[in-house]
Amino acid sequence: MTSFYTMLFLAVGSTAGLYVYGRARPVGKPITWGEGILAALGIFAYLALIYALLPNAWLQWATGGLRWRPDKTGIPLGPLHYTDLWGWRFHILQNNRKYLGFIPVDHGVLWPHGITFFGRGKIAVNAQNIGDSVAALIYIVFLGVQLYGWLWWQKRGRVRVATPELPRSAYGRPLVKKA
């Protein structure tokens, strides 16, 4: 858990640091060899962090500390099932109810026997699938952040060209063509 939160903090912090550096760096300023090497090393470390270390820390936590194994069917609720506050345990699902609305719940797991569609089929969901889906979501989110960062870096410093004001007629409408 600690490694995952540390990697998440480093990933978010380094992403914010890249944007702060991009705002402070003058557009069009030439790069020296030393700056280029440091930038390449920094970007390599950033990509290794967001695409290798962060998903690995999540998967290690999911399989180790959270014990999300393939034999645990259903979607685990984790801390949403109960909270431990100053030694007191408060159950969100009172009186051992087996449904949360229309969703079956049993021992902190949504759909403990799989998702059924009115008796016409079943999707078997286990905790390992959920953990792998979260890892894939980490990849997707940071790929979007990376693509946005590339576009932002390329477009920074551009000034929008103001369109010239068209002459107006006596009625207040813009003239499109000359009479």
pLDDT digits (tens, 9 = 90+) for 87-116: 454 455 544 556 666 666 676 777 777 777
pLDDT of residue 90: 47
Going by pLDDT thresholds of 50, 70 and 90, the confidence category of residue 11 is very high
Averaged over 28-44, what is the pLDDT? Answer: 93
pLDDT of residue 46: 95
Structural element, H or E, at residue 138: helix 127-155
Distinct helix (H) and strand (E) counts, the chain: 4, 8
pLDDT of residue 99: 64
Tell me the two tokens of residue 77: 């609720």
Rounded Cα–Cα distance for residues 15 and 146 (Å): 9
pLDDT of residue 123: 82
pLDDT digits (tens, 9 = 90+) for 134-172: 999 999 999 999 999 999 988 888 888 887 777 888 888
